[in-house]
Structure 1
């Protein structure tokens, strides 16, 4: 079976959570290729140097400077998003025809499906969260997302099937136009050892490790805020800048160790050495931190209400702490960790859900080829 995996390029989280999916397909004998853009190609090449990469169009997302402009931004850029979706669908159909893929796995790429291949759509955000003042429009958001999902054969949800899982009401929704499979928490750190000294060398231990991620200009704004905040706190701290395109570079400023990027084993070791981890509240980060056993302070990206909801729900369950970016400071950080000294994300067990989903897909593909000469996956061609 030949599989093409295509993560969305809104930050690196979609690419990182595709890593265990790619590994599982490879473990079960599939031939895997990757659909990438420049921003995530380097990260995936570092993890899977042997896999062929094929360029696909980027969404070219730049978030507004202020979160309260997000609604207007979406209206303004709606035509652009639709244009990219239509274009990427044509690209997907052409790639299936030219390179004979049996399966397309789209991590939130809305238009990356084909009528001539089994098409999987992966998302945890089946419910698109709206701020309270816009909550009346939430059903419209769900209808729009359902219109996206109906073009695919299956929806894979990277969460536990039992509520609340890690994403709560965002992932646990009753209705869907196509079959839904929960595939468990997905993290590229799953299966790694727990020895915090592995590959640590002279790095750490740290009081705070900050992980910078996301798209501009919010990413740089968060980096600058972290630098200004942590330099005032006694002890040794680290900031992982999330810039794999710059290679592996290390520098020091006062009591801060700065890393442009870290390979997975070093990243895991640095995080496990920390007393606290500060990061955005993206869902892929939540799953990574759960696997690594980190105590987290999440700072949601302004305008990304999904992160606000995740941080609020995790804090309510006692799993993590959260601080709005507008009030993030040395004083608020120290006060928050003083109040939330015992928080801990629940650690997921072995993920058999993903194994079973891939196994079923592999079996279906084999049966389809054997039962229908000249057709790779006949049911995929019946979709309207």
Structure 2
């Protein structure tokens, strides 16, 4: 049984949430290979140094600076998107024909399917999020996404089957043109033996992530804010290319990057975690049992929706970047003192069952 897994290259979150999927296929005896682009190849090689990588087409996404522009990007760049989708579909058909894959797993790669292999499409955003000024496009967005999903045999949703789950209204949609399986929270920390301990109990641990220039802007905002708050704080800068280095600035401990074991130890020993609100981050924090304050990335309206839904359910706090300050951070902590993300199931039986079924069932024709 040969499996080819292909995460989308819009940031690294799609690659990290594929880690438990890849592990589970390997655990169940499948031969797994990876379809990568240059931006996520190194990360996946760090987790799976022995797995063969195939270079896949890149979407070459540049994130807008302002929230309303993301929907406009989708409208303006429809031709580019269709071109990439057609190219990656030809690529996937060629891969199946040349290397005889039995299963393709596409994490939000819209054209990564084949008529000659069981094709699985993984997404938590069954409802594409549009800001209010573009809300008229939402029904069209859902129709378009349904037209994408109909080319696949199954849709896997990385969320809990019970509403609201982690993705709330984004993942829990009534209709779908193909069978849907909820596969639980997908985190690179799930099932790992995280033995490292942190010697310091931090009041706030901030995790910097994302693409430039938003990444550096967020880092500077965190430095300026946390240095004014009493207590010891840590900022994980998310710069793995610089190696694992640490430094101190007043009451801040700065880490360029932390291996998963140490990252988990620091997060689990924090009173609060401040981070962007990407969906992979939400699932990681749920697995680690963190109390979170999410600051959505401007231009990624999906993060705004996630943060809003999680705050409404009492699972987390959220602050707009434009309003992020010492005062709003302290107010959020005081208001949301008892927040907690839902705890995932211990062994993720949902994912195990989905992988087992995909290995042992025949694919349908598209």
TM-score band, normalised by the shorter chain? Answer: over 0.9
User: How much does 1:252 deviate?
Assistant: 3.0
Distance 1:255 1:77, change over 3 A: farther
The answer to whether residue 1 in structure 2 is matched with residue 7 in structure 1 is no
**Cα distance in 2, alignment partners of residues 224 and 148 from structure 1:** 39
Q: Is the 8 A contact 1:250 1:258 kept in 2?
A: yes
User: How much does 1:301 deviate?
Assistant: 1.2
Equivalent position to 1:360, from 357, 360, 364? 357
**Cα distance in 1, alignment partners of residues 46 and 333 from structure 2:** 35
Distance 1:259 1:77, change over 3 A: farther
User: Which residue of 2 is the match for residue 80 of structure 1?
Assistant: 80
| Aligned alpha-carbon RMSD (Å) | 1.7
Point out where structure 2 has 5 or more consecutive residues left out of the alignment.
Answer: none
- 1:151-190: CA deviations, max 9, x gaps? 1111000111111111111111111111111111111111
1:115-264 matched pairs, under 5 angstroms = 115-193=115-193, 198-200=195-197, 204-264=200-260
The answer to whether residue 342 in structure 2 is matched with residue 318 in structure 1 is no
Bigger drift between 240-249 and 60-69 goes to 240-249
**Cα distance in 2, alignment partners of residues 173 and 18 from structure 1:** 22
**Cα distance in 1, alignment partners of residues 180 and 241 from structure 2:** 35
Q: Is the 8 A contact 2:130 2:137 kept in 1?
A: yes
Q: Is the 8 A contact 1:42 1:245 kept in 2?
A: no
- Superposition TM-score, scaled by structure 2 size: 0.95
Q: Is the 8 A contact 1:235 1:255 kept in 2?
A: yes
Bigger drift between 60-69 and 293-302 goes to 60-69
User: How much does 1:201 deviate?
Assistant: 5.7
User: Which residue of 2 is the match for residue 374 of structure 1?
Assistant: none
- Superposition TM-score, scaled by structure 1 size: 0.91
Distance 1:39 1:205, change over 3 A: farther
- 1:88-118: CA deviations, max 9, x gaps? 1111111112221111101001111112211
**Cα distance in 2, alignment partners of residues 52 and 257 from structure 1:** 38
The answer to whether residue 26 in structure 2 is matched with residue 26 in structure 1 is yes
**Cα distance in 1, alignment partners of residues 66 and 253 from structure 2:** 29
Q: Is the 8 A contact 1:200 1:266 kept in 2?
A: yes
User: How much does 1:235 deviate?
Assistant: 2.3
**Cα distance in 2, alignment partners of residues 260 and 38 from structure 1:** 21
User: Which residue of 1 is the match for residue 284 of structure 2?
Assistant: 288
1:294-313 matched pairs, under 5 angstroms = 294-313=290-309
- 1:263-318: CA deviations, max 9, x gaps? 21111111001111011111111111111000000011122221111111111111
The answer to whether residue 96 in structure 2 is matched with residue 99 in structure 1 is no
User: Which residue of 1 is the match for residue 38 of structure 2?
Assistant: 38
Q: Is the 8 A contact 2:293 2:317 kept in 1?
A: yes
User: Which residue of 2 is the match for residue 273 of structure 1?
Assistant: 269
Number of aligned pairs?
Answer: 365
Point out where structure 1 has 5 or more consecutive residues left out of the alignment.
Answer: 369-376
Distance 1:239 1:223, change over 3 A: same
User: How much does 1:227 deviate?
Assistant: 1.8
Distance 1:84 1:250, change over 3 A: farther
